[in-house]
Amino acid sequence: MMKVETTVIRATSRESIKEGDNFFTVEYCEERTVHIDPKASKEKTEEALAKAREELWDVCNNEVDMQVLEIKRLAKEARNKRNR
């Protein structure tokens, strides 16, 4: 059985926007466990952690971007209904 070390990484992404007279803040946080081979070199370990962090940031930032787009879409729909 291969022995592994685990490291937990967490990222939080947040954005605030103003739509009309309203302010919205959206946030997404995710935590992941990264399994590291204790026999790996320090360089390989750092590379693996850097890759895992980059992937995690991409997920968190994309989720916040999608939430912001949804708020903007809903605000536009609400404006269009009011203007009919």
3-state secondary structure of 44: helix
Q: pLDDT grade, residue 27 (50/70/90)? A: very high
Q: Measure the CA angle with vertex 51, ends 46 and 55; round to 5°.
A: 150
Delimit the domains of the chain by residue range.
Answer: 5-82
Helix/strand/coil for 83: coil
Residue 30 has what DSSP assignment?
Answer: E
Please state the pTM of the whole predicted model: 0.85
Question: What are the tens digits of pLDDT across the range 37-84?
Answer: 889 899 999 999 999 999 999 999 999 999 999 999 999 999 899 888
